[in-house]
């Protein structure tokens, strides 16, 4: 555990009254900035004498660590990462289960590299830090089931893979002809895809929900197509079609923790530090932690998840302007839940994946075998995935109830096998976790490009970055990486220049053709 002790800031002014005065001053100044319509005052370098740090980086996930590295590389060392958990990595989160390290959060490098084309930066870090991964053939190594047991519906599955590609192609003209966005469900219907039975619905789930953590009905047709294209479609600037599953027993997080170790000094990290309030303005940002400590910075970068921003876990002072609140409220936080079981031995399939078509769409559909020669042979571990509303549903149940449901599904899938009691059972509750409030963001059809600009835009000296602020790669590790890099560069410009313009925003997102009756 490289960073396992809590860090105390020695530079915090002892006088509480001073801190209060300072916060008061900031709020007053913020009001002035508001009145001036957010033009950012010229860099107020006098303020630096009173702030504890030049930059406060709120959150130590991929975006926070990469922003920190960007500052470091440009000679800005006076920053601190403030992280609520006891380690860096954020949604790269592993745990010990059944004697093995398994991933509760991110697990794949999604899109790798094709010939000399652009490399996924996560792949680059994975190679650099020798994180063990394996190609996961999730379209080609699959066994299919329904409530009667094993049933081969790979023809239906393959048709659904093609239907998804067709969906992303048919979204092209929506963009080139400036047509309004629709839901991906609308897109499927218009391209002639209407899944009616359990097999077709499970196949569609695998190709859509299992990636976006929400239903086609809840997702933007254009944005989900872009999101796929920019990562997986080489013709559209994507990396490759391949997915590498991390099986490193240090955890997938090793790539970011090892990278952090190369440049971070322990004094630049504060762990087990939960931020409760963020007071922001055009001249600086002050945060107050759960334990009452207060830290100020000339600038702050908030990398908390969209789910955290949507809840009142962190209070902003003054409250965020309408355009920011509208953007935060309008993007969606999806949930992706892996349910792990360990058995005395593998009684299931020899393929990497299993797909189960329940009469109810989204009910324990996708199964991944870790007890496979490519992954963790002999481990006896298999896991199921549920997403979206179904994840929220099971988070409200007890572990015992969920275990009984999942075993019921295995009894249906393997009617001729006496399924033994699992040795171990576990699933994480991302949606209920106040440090995440879900797994990753998904772009709904009522979310416009201006909304996305507003989600990314800074408020005076308070900046934002994370997977959700990535227009091309929302939901992915590489989205968080590129956003951390970009905002790090913006911060460098601000700090080294004389004041900064920051990122653009729209005060109001208008209808191009207003409603009327
Ligand atoms: C189940 C799951 C599966 C996924 N699978 C993949 C995958 O296979 N491939 C892929 O590319 N991506 C995947 N993702 C998405 C990927 O994990 C994220 O896009 C990425 O990790 C987000 O990084 P971030 O820096 O934006 O946010 P985070 O990692 O969330 O970093 C923010 C940090 O802020 C901290 N924090 C939050 N609130 C506070 C507070 N009040 N005070 C102090 N600290 C706080 C959090 O602890 C966290 O460490 C998955 C995510 C999940 C959850
Ligand atoms: C489905 O596609 C895979 C390739 O991804 C192929 O190997 C398999 O034969 C196809 N099966 C059917 C039934 O079409
Ligand atoms: C996605 O990629 C396909 C194939 O390259 C392309 O035809 C389509 O226009 C792209 N979709 C969008 C929304 O850009
Ligand atoms: C299960 O057993 C029954 C009765 O012996 C048999 O008809 C059926 O084919 C078996 N199913 C599988 C999947 O082996």
Name all residues whose Cβ lies below 6 A of ligand 1: 59-64, 82-85, 90-92, 105-108, 110, 274-275, 303-305, 308, 313-314, 336, 430, 435-436, 439-440, 466-467, 475-477, 479-480
State phi, psi for 178 to the nearest 5 degrees.
Answer: 55, 40
Determine whether 20 is exposed, middle or buried from the number of CB atoms within 10 Å of its CB (0-12, 13-18, 19+).
Answer: exposed
What local confidence, expressed as pLDDT, does residue 49 receive?
A: 55
Nearest CA to ligand 1 atom 6: 106
* Positions in the chain short of pLDDT 70: 1-49, 498
| Element spanning 408, H or E | helix 399-413
Instruction: Point out the annotated binding site for FAD.
Output: 275
Return the HEC string of 125-191.
HHHHCCCCEEECCCCCCEEEEECCEECCCHHHHHHHHHHHHHHHHHCHHHHHCCCCCCEHHHHHHHC
Of the candidates 116, 125, 102, the one whose C-alpha atom is nearest the C-alpha of residue 245 is 102
What local confidence, expressed as pLDDT, does residue 467 receive?
A: 98
Distance 71 CA to ligand 3 centre (A): 35
The conformation of residue 320, written as its DSSP 8-state character, comes to P
| Element spanning 392, H or E | helix 388-395
Task: Report the atom number in ligand 3 closest to the C-alpha of 173.
Answer: 9
Task: Report the atom number in ligand 2 closest to the C-alpha of 139.
Answer: 5
CA 94, chain centre distance (Å): 15
In angstroms, the CA 423 to CA 381 distance is: 10
The residue to mutate among 103, 211, 304, 339, having the most atoms of ligand 1 within 8 angstroms of its beta carbon, is 304
Nearest CA to ligand 4 atom 14: 416
In angstroms, the CA 30 to CA 44 distance is: 14
Task: Report the atom number in ligand 3 closest to the C-alpha of 235.
Answer: 5
Nearest CA to ligand 4 atom 13: 150
What local confidence, expressed as pLDDT, does residue 16 receive?
A: 38
Which domains are assigned to the chain? 42-90+268-332+447-496 (3.50.50.60), 94-251+336-426 (3.90.660.10)
3-state class (DSSP) for residue 313:
coil
What local confidence, expressed as pLDDT, does residue 24 receive?
A: 47
CA 162, chain centre distance (Å): 27
State phi, psi for 2 to the nearest 5 degrees.
Answer: -65, -35
What local confidence, expressed as pLDDT, does residue 1 receive?
A: 37
Determine whether the shortest distance from the Cβ of 171 to ligand 3 is under 6 A: yes
Task: Report the atom number in ligand 2 closest to the C-alpha of 154.
Answer: 13
Name all residues whose Cβ lies below 6 A of ligand 4: 149-150, 415-416
Distance 351 CA to ligand 2 centre (A): 13
Distance 342 CA to ligand 4 centre (A): 25
Determine whether the shortest distance from the Cβ of 233 to ligand 3 is under 6 A: yes
What local confidence, expressed as pLDDT, does residue 50 receive?
A: 76
Which ligand sits nearest to residue 161's alpha carbon? 2
E strands along 370-450, which residues? 381-387, 424-426, 440-442
Distance 363 CA to ligand 2 centre (A): 24
What local confidence, expressed as pLDDT, does residue 12 receive?
A: 36
Nearest CA to ligand 4 atom 9: 416
Which ligand sits nearest to residue 164's alpha carbon? 3
Sign of CA dihedral 251, 256, 257, 258: positive
The residue to mutate among 64, 93, 106, having the most atoms of ligand 1 within 8 angstroms of its beta carbon, is 106
pTM as predicted: 0.92
Which ligand sits nearest to residue 148's alpha carbon? 4
Distance 365 CA to ligand 3 centre (A): 28
Measured between alpha carbons, how far is residue 3 from residues 11, 53, 349, 376, 503 in Å? Answer: 20, 20, 41, 28, 33
Task: Report the atom number in ligand 1 closest to the C-alpha of 430.
Answer: 53
Name all residues whose Cβ lies below 6 A of ligand 2: 139-140, 154-155, 158
Nearest CA to ligand 4 atom 8: 416
What local confidence, expressed as pLDDT, does residue 312 receive?
A: 87
In angstroms, the CA 251 to CA 245 distance is: 11
Determine whether the shortest distance from the Cβ of 175 to ligand 3 is under 6 A: yes
Which ligand sits nearest to residue 417's alpha carbon? 4
């Amino acid at each position: 555990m490289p960073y396992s002790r809590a860090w105390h800031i020695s530079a915090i002014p002892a006088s509480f009254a001073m801190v209060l005065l300072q916060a008061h001053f900031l709020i007053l100044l913020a009001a002035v900035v508001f009145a001036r319509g957010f033009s950012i005052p010229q860099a107020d370098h006098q303020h630096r004498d009173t702030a504890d740090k030049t930059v406060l980086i709120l959150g130590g996930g991929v975006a926070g660590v990469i922003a920190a590295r960007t500052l470091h590389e440009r000679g800005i060392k006076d920053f601190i990462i403030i992280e609520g958990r006891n380690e860096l990595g954020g949604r790269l989160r592993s745990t010990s289960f059944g004697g093995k390290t398994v991933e509760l959060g991110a697990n794949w490098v999604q899109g790798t590299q094709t010939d000399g084309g652009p490399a996924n930066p996560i792949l680059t870090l994975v190679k650099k830090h020798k994180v063990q991964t394996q190609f996961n053939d999730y379209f080609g190594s699959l066994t299919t089931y329904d409530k009667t047991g094993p049933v081969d519906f790979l023809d239906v599955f393959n048709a659904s893979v093609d239907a998804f590609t067709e969906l992303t192609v048919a979204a092209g003209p929506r963009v080139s002809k400036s047509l309004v966005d629709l839901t991906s469900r609308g897109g499927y219907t218009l391209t002639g895809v209407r899944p009616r039975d359990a097999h077709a619905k499970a196949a569609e789930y695998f190709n859509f929900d299992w990636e976006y953590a929400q239903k086609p009905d809840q997702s933007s047709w254009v944005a989900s197509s872009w999101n796929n294209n920019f990562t997986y479609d080489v013709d559209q600037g994507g990396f490759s079609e391949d997915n590498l599953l991390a099986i490193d027993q240090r955890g997938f997080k090793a790539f970011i923790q090892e990278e952090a170790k190369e440049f971070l000094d322990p004094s630049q990290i504060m762990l087990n530090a939960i931020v409760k309030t963020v007071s922001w303005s055009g001249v600086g940002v002050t945060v107050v932690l759960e334990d009452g400590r207060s830290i100020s910075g000339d600038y702050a970068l908030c990398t908390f998840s969209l789910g955290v921003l949507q809840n009142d876990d962190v209070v902003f002072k003054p409250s965020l302007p309408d355009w920011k609140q509208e953007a935060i409220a309008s993007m969606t936080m999806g949930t992706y839940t892996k349910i792990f079981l360990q058995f005395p031995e593998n009684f299931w399939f020899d393929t990497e994946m299993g797909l189960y078509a329940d009469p109810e769409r989204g009910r324990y559909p996708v199964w991944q075998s870790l007890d496979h020669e490519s992954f963790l042979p002999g481990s006896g571990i298999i896991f199921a995935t549920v997403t979206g509303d179904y994840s929220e549903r099971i988070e409200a149940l007890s572990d015992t109830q969920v275990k009984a449901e999942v075993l019921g599904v295995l009894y249906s899938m393997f009617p001729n096998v006496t399924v033994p009691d699992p040795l171990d059972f576990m699933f994480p509750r991302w949606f209920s976790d106040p440090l995440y409030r879900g797994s990753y963001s998904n772009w709904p059809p009522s979310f416009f490009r201006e909304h996305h600009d507003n989600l990314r835009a800074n408020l005076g000296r308070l900046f934002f970055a994370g997977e959700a602020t990535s227009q091309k790669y929302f939901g992915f590790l590489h989205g968080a990486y590129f956003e951390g890099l970009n905002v790090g560069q913006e911060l460098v410009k601000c700090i080294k220049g004389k004041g900064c313009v920051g990122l653009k925003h729209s005060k109001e997102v208008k209808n191009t053709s207003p409603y009327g009756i």
